[in-house]
Amino acid sequence: MEQTQNNSIDPVVVIWSRKWAILLFTLVVTGTAIFASSFLSKQYEAKATVLISPPMFNVAKEESFFSIDSYTDLAVTSGILQGVIDRLAPKYPDIKKSLYPRALEGMISIETGVAKFKSGLSRSSLLTFKVRGQDPSLIKDIANTLANVLSEASKQMRANEIAAISRVTEALYTSTKDALGKLEKAFQEVRVNNQLESVVANQRIKQINLRKFETQLMKTNVELIGENSKLSSLTAQAKKYPDMVIGDLITNQVNSKALAAKQIFLSKSVAELKKEIPQLEGKVLQMELQEEQLERQVHVLKDSFMGLAQRVEEIRISESEKTSDMRLISQAIEPHFPVWPNKAKIALITLVFGLTLGIAIALSKEHLDNTTKARS
């Protein structure tokens, strides 16, 4: 039990007793690391930032085509990177021998963000090109040239897209205009041929006549019933007093025949009108449906034509602008201090590492000394 207590180590006491050795070891490790980093190749970084704004008139109607991801992917394509190399060749004659698109891609990193303005929300995006390399002047030129080449490519792509959309839209606009003219002409011809107002007026006249004839027929029926009743009475009286009622009897017979003829005429007229009016109603309904259908087609085609006319105007404005959606807002400048090796970061890491390792060695040595003493 006593031997175990003697072999126990108090870390605080050990560290304090060997503090100078630990400190010296830490400084040696840190100094060596800093000294060694001086022989590493220095890496510099240059940054160029561009602002990507959506077009005033998005004739493509597809935000995704000009999205921030589209630009990010486009920036590292072989065509763009080769364009950067070709653009820099006059200033750096050996660049085509020493640098290829894939190698250039490895030097570039891209950061994206959303532009914030005092006015509030914005649909604009930020694209920052970071280029790392050993030549500060070269990486500055690469960053700026990449921004310019990408902007020009964006401008050309948008011009090509607008031109393609313009051709399709102009053709659709012309065909829609012709179709609208033909449909409007057909609509007018149908209205003229149908003469719907005349047919409706004729239908109303026949309805009025039907009501009038029905009223007259009811009145004639009542009168005829009265004359027939009177005829029966006069006929009975004529048997007893033929000389007295003969004149009235003849008059009654004439009136009855006239009323009967009138009844036949009115009944026939009412029957004909009842047959004709539903036919006219069906004809009117058919005409109305035909005209309404054509009118709806004219309205739909006219709305489509107006939308196409507006889009054609937007395309013409976009074609006249001939601008890129991308604008360089922060040019890369030649860096004066390397981003690698970062001596401050190396010093901090090795300081912590050296101190930890020094303490571990001190505790191990103390433990080893105690073990040796205990055995002896």
Per-residue pLDDT reduced to its tens digit, 302-319? 888 888 788 777 777 665
Tens digits of per-residue pLDDT, 58-115? 544 444 445 778 888 888 899 999 999 999 999 998 888 888 999 899 999 999 887 7
User: Do 311 and 185 have their domain in common?
Assistant: yes
**334 SS3 class:** coil
Same domain flag for 261 and 376: no
Domain shared by 217 and 266, yes or no: yes
Per cent of the chain over pLDDT 90 is 15
Question: Do 180 and 290 fall within a single domain?
Answer: yes
Q: Is residue 187 part of a domain?
A: yes
Cα separation, 315 vs 318, whole angstroms: 5
Structure-token pair, residue 159 = 């011009």
CB-CB contact of 131 with 108 (8 Å): yes
User: 335 and 45 in contact (C-beta within 8 Å)?
Assistant: yes
Average pLDDT score over residue span 269-288: 84
Rounded Cα gap, residues 248 and 228, in angstroms = 13
Dihedral of CA atoms 31, 35, 38, 40 in degrees, nearest 10, equals -100
* CA 354 to chain centroid: 59
**Do 349 and 283 share a structural domain?**
no
Q: Which of 28-32, 50-54, 66-70, 300-304 has the lowest mean pLDDT?
A: 66-70
Token representation of residue 266: 């009115």
Q: Is residue 32 part of a domain?
A: yes
Cβ(142)–Cβ(107) below 8 Å? yes
Distance in Å from the first CA to the final CA of the chain: 17
Both 370 and 289 in one domain: the answer is no
For residues 26 and 118, the model is more confident at 26
106 located within any domain:
no
What is the mean predicted confidence (pLDDT) over 329-357? 84
pLDDT band (50, 70, 90) for residue 338: confident
CB 49 within 8 A of CB 81: no
Judgement on whether residues 192 and 303 belong to the same structural domain of the protein: yes
Residue 59 belongs to some domain of the structure:
no
The CA distance from 200 to 213, in Å, is 20
Pair 335, 140: CB distance under 8 Å: yes
Q: Which of 164, 167, 150 is nearest to 110 (CA)?
A: 150
Asked if residue 264 is part of any domain, the answer here is yes
- Lowest-confidence region among 31-45, 115-129, 223-237, 348-362: 115-129
Pair 178, 276 in one domain? yes
**Contact between 153 and 66 (Cβ < 8 Å):** no
Are residue 181 and residue 309 in the same domain, yes or no?
Answer: yes
3-state secondary structure of 67: coil
Count the helix, strand and coil residues of the chain and give each as a percent rounded to the nearest 5.
75, 10, 15
Q: Check if the beta carbon of residue 161 is closer than 8 Å to that of residue 283.
A: no
**Confidence at residue 4, expressed as pLDDT on a 0 to 100 scale:** 44
Question: Residue 223 is part of which domain span?
Answer: 172-318
Exposure string for 116-143, b = 16+ CB within 10 A, e = fewer: eeeeeeeeebbbbbbbbbeebebbbbbb
Considering the domain architecture, whether residues 352 and 269 belong to the same structural domain is answered as no
Mean pLDDT of 175-202: 80
CATH, residue 227 = 1.10.287.2610
Closest CA to 182 of 292, 301, 291: 301
Residue type, 132: R
Indicate if 244 and 357 belong to the same structural domain. Answer: no
Same domain, 176 and 306: yes
Q: Considering the domain boundaries, does residue 359 fall inside one?
A: yes
**Is residue 150 a part of any domain in this protein?**
no
Strand ranges, E, within 298-375: 326-330
210 domain-assigned: yes
CA angle, residues 212, 216, 219, in degrees to nearest 5: 145
Residues in the chain: 376
Q: Which of 275, 301, 318 marks a domain boundary?
A: 318
What's the structural domain count of the chain? 2
**290: Cα within 13 Å, side-chain hemisphere:** 17
